[in-house]
Amino acid sequence: MAGILIFSEKTKLALELASAASELSAVNPGEIHALCINDPQEAEELSARGLAVYSLESPGLSTADTAGTAAALLALANKLGVDTILLSSDRRGKELAGRVAEAWEAGCLTDVKGFSVQDGQVVFVRNALGGATVATQIIKTDRKLIAFTPRAFAPLEGGGGSILPFELEITAPSVKVLEVRSKAGDVVDIQGAERLVIVGQGVENQADLSFVEQLAKALGAEIACSKPVASDKKWLSEERIVGLSGKICKPEAAIILGVSGQVQFTVGIREAQVIFSINNDENAYMNKISDYILVADLKDALPELAKALA
Partner 1 sequence: MNIVVAMKQIPDLQQIRIRNRQPVLDDVPLTFGNIDKNALEAAVQLKEAAGGQVIVVCAGTQELEDTVKEALAAGADEARLVVCDPALESSQSARLIAAAVQQIGAVDLILFGEGSGDNYSSQVSSRVAQILGLPQVGYANNIQVEGSSLRVTRSLEDCEEILEVPLPAVVSVTADINEARIPSVTQILKAGRKPKETWDIGQLGIALPAPGVETISNLAPETERKQVMVKTVADLVKALETEGFGGRG
Ligand X SMILES: Cc1cc2nc3c(=O)[nH]c(=O)nc-3n(C[C@H](O)[C@H](O)[C@H](O)COP(=O)(O)OP(=O)(O)OC[C@H]3O[C@@H](n4cnc5c(N)ncnc54)[C@H](O)[C@@H]3O)c2cc1C
Residues 249-278, interacting with ligand X (CB under 6 A): 258-260, 262, 264-265, 268
Shortest Cβ distance from residue 165 to partner 1 (Å)?
27
- Residue 98 contacts which entry, ligand X, partner 1, none (Cβ below 5-8 A, type-dependent): partner 1
- Residue 70 contacts which entry, partner 1, ligand X, none (Cβ below 5-8 A, type-dependent): partner 1
Shortest Cβ distance from residue 303 to partner 1 (Å)?
9
Nearest to 24 by CA among 53, 45, 3, 10: 3
Task: Give the interface size with ligand X as a residue count (CB under 6 A).
Answer: 28
> How many CB atoms neighbour CB 76 within 10 A?
20
Which of the 8 DSSP states describes residue 130? G
Are 42 and 11 within 8 A, CB to CB?
yes
Shortest Cβ distance from residue 226 to ligand X (Å)?
3
DSSP-derived 3-state class of residue 47: helix
Among 48, 95, 158, 250, binds partner 1 (CB under 8 A): 95
Among 39, 42, 45, 111, binds partner 1 (CB under 8 A): 111
Q: In the range 65-84, which residues lie near partner 1 by CB under 8 A?
A: 65-67, 70
Nearest-angstrom CA–CA distance, 257 and 148: 30
- Bridge partners of 225, per DSSP, are 199, 241
Q: In the range 163-202, which residues lie near partner 1 by CB under 8 A?
A: 174-183, 195
- Residue 48 contacts which entry, partner 1, ligand X, none (Cβ below 5-8 A, type-dependent): none
Query: DSSP secondary structure string, 230-254?
Result: HHTS-SS-GGGBBSTTSB----SEE
> How many CB atoms neighbour CB 178 within 10 A?
5
Q: Pattern of binders to ligand X over 188-227, x per CB under 6 A?
A: ------------xxx-x---------------------xx
Q: Which long-range contacts (CB under 8 A, 24 or more apart) does 206-214 make?
A: 206/233, 206/235, 208/298, 208/299, 208/302, 208/303, 209/235, 209/236, 211/302, 211/303, 211/305, 211/306, 212/257, 212/302, 212/306, 214/306, 214/309, 214/310
Nearest-angstrom CA–CA distance, 86 and 109: 10
Nearest-angstrom CA–CA distance, 70 and 114: 24
Among 31, 52, 107, 170, binds partner 1 (CB under 8 A): 107
Among 165, 192, 274, 297, binds partner 1 (CB under 8 A): 274
- Looking at beta carbons only, is 21 or 229 nearer to ligand X? 229
Task: Give the interface size with partner 1 as a residue count (CB under 8 A).
Answer: 84
Q: In the range 283-302, which residues lie near partner 1 by CB under 8 A?
A: 287-296, 301
- Asked if 38 is part of the footprint of ligand X (rule: CB under 6 A), the reply reads no
Q: In the range 129-148, which residues lie near partner 1 by CB under 8 A?
A: 129-130, 132-141
Candidate ranges 12-20, 31-39, 87-95, 279-287; the one touching ligand X (CB under 6 A): 279-287
- Asked if 246 is part of the footprint of ligand X (rule: CB under 6 A), the reply reads yes
Q: In the range 282-301, which residues lie near ligand X by CB under 6 A?
A: 284, 297-299
Amino acid in position 106: A
